[in-house]
């Protein structure tokens, strides 16, 4: 993960993860995680709803709330986190 040579592999290594940087709505409006996550506007509210909704579907959901490496995208994966049932939704 994060370009390190040691430690766990990213779920991307086995194509079991997807990163989403933004959305294009039916009317052509673009909403980006980098540009629209900060603040309280309707685009920020939309992005938080997407993040929170994804937590019902994916075992791991990482957003700008998680760390600076995710400031510009959502990371979604279905990693088996062992018997603990550990999930991440941040």
Chain positions contacting Zn ion, by CB under 5 A: 17, 19, 75
Residue nearest to Zn ion (CB): 75
Task: Round the CA-based radius of gyration of the chain to a whole number and report it.
Answer: 14
- In angstroms, give the least distance from the CB of 50 to Zn ion: 15
Of 41 and 52, nearer to Zn ion (C-beta) is: 52
Neighbouring residues of 67: CB distance < 8 A, sequence distance ≥ 6: none
- In angstroms, give the least distance from the CB of 59 to Zn ion: 13
Of 16 and 40, nearer to Zn ion (C-beta) is: 16
DSSP, res 8: P
DSSP, res 75: E
């Amino acid at each position: 993960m994060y370009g390190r040579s040691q430690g766990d592999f990213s779920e991307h290594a086995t194509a079991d993860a997807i990163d989403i940087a933004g959305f294009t709505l039916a009317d052509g409006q673009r909403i980006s995680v980098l540009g629209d996550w900060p603040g309280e506007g309707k685009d920020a509210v939309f992005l938080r709803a997407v993040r929170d909704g994804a937590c019902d579907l994916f075992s791991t959901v990482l957003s700008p709330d998680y760390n600076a490496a995710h400031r510009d995208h959502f990371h979604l994966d279905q990693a088996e986190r062992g018997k603990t049932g550990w999930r991440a939704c941040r």
